[in-house]
Amino acid sequence: MRETKENTENILKNIQQSHQKTLKAVLFDMDNTLFDFVAVKLIACREILSYLGEKDKNFMKDPEELFRYFLRGTYGFEDYENIRDYMQERNLYTVKAYRYCCEIYDREKLQNLKLYPGVRDTLEELKKLGLKLAIITDADKYHAQARLMRVGLLDSFEFLVSADMTGTKKPDPAHFLFALDSLGIKPEESLVVGDSIKRDMAPARKLGFKTAYASYGDWRQTDEKEQCFDFQLNTFQDLIGFIDVLNQGKYAEPWDLQMDL
């Protein structure tokens, strides 16, 4: 632990002393990049089914079954209509019960949020380096701010780009371009950090951003990951080392660098 801390301190010192500071901002995806959002969705699904099964002891309480409704693509990943369809197809729907299930869903997701290890300290160190930090998320502004407030990070970011601000969702480039314009920076001066190859890495890299793939948060079940990112993060703390590499101008080939600080 002591060696790891000293290593991190040395990296920070090198960054601060570097005369080749190319990076000015880091743009973060939020869900599954800062915290495990799938885990809290499963908890919310479990609590919904617990409520629905109170009057029926034979009711199958499989949270993954309800979770799969959010994955269908029929509605958005966060839309309440997924809960409604689940209830209607099992003859469990009433207006009152549906509204209460939506309340359970929102409450449990928020209450159970926990940051990945090292997130808070790493963000603080990035701010000490003079980097601008922003959030680019497909959540709406209200829910994004509520989640950041819950984990104590609302004041850690200079700017937030949400789906209702741009009228689109990633991989549409609007989120990324909105952030650039608001922060007054260029793509090549920015690093995008996210857990999705398709929605974060590919569009960001196409626009000319540096990219860091948060593999620790990618819950998608696939063995093949398209190699369209510059760095792979195995933990959130790895970010410090990669920013050192960027600012020193050392990296040459994408996805060749994987660190374990």
* Contact (Cβ atoms closer than 8 angstroms) between residue 147 and residue 34: no
CA distances from 122 to 38, 84, 153, 183, 194 (A): 22, 40, 12, 21, 15
Cβ proximity of 137 and 30 under 8 Å: yes
Domain ranges of the chain: 23-36+115-248, 38-112
Question: Which CATH architecture group holds 23-36+115-248?
Answer: 3-Layer(aba) Sandwich (3.40)
Closest CA to 68 of 242, 219, 254, 224: 219
Q: Looking at residue 1, what is its pLDDT?
A: 54
At residue 257, the pLDDT reads 41
pLDDT for res 248: 73
Per-residue pLDDT of the chain (261 residues; tens, 9 = 90+): 555 556 666 655 555 444 345 899 999 999 999 999 999 999 999 999 999 988 776 777 789 999 999 999 899 889 999 999 999 999 999 999 999 999 999 999 999 999 999 999 999 999 999 999 999 999 999 999 999 999 999 999 999 999 999 999 999 999 999 999 999 999 999 999 999 999 999 999 999 999 999 999 998 865 455 678 999 999 999 999 998 888 776 554 444 444 333
User: Could you tell me how far CA 172 lies from the centroid of its own chain?
Assistant: 16
What pTM, to 2 d.p., does this model score?
0.84
Distance (Å, rounded) from C-alpha 207 to C-alpha 203? 6
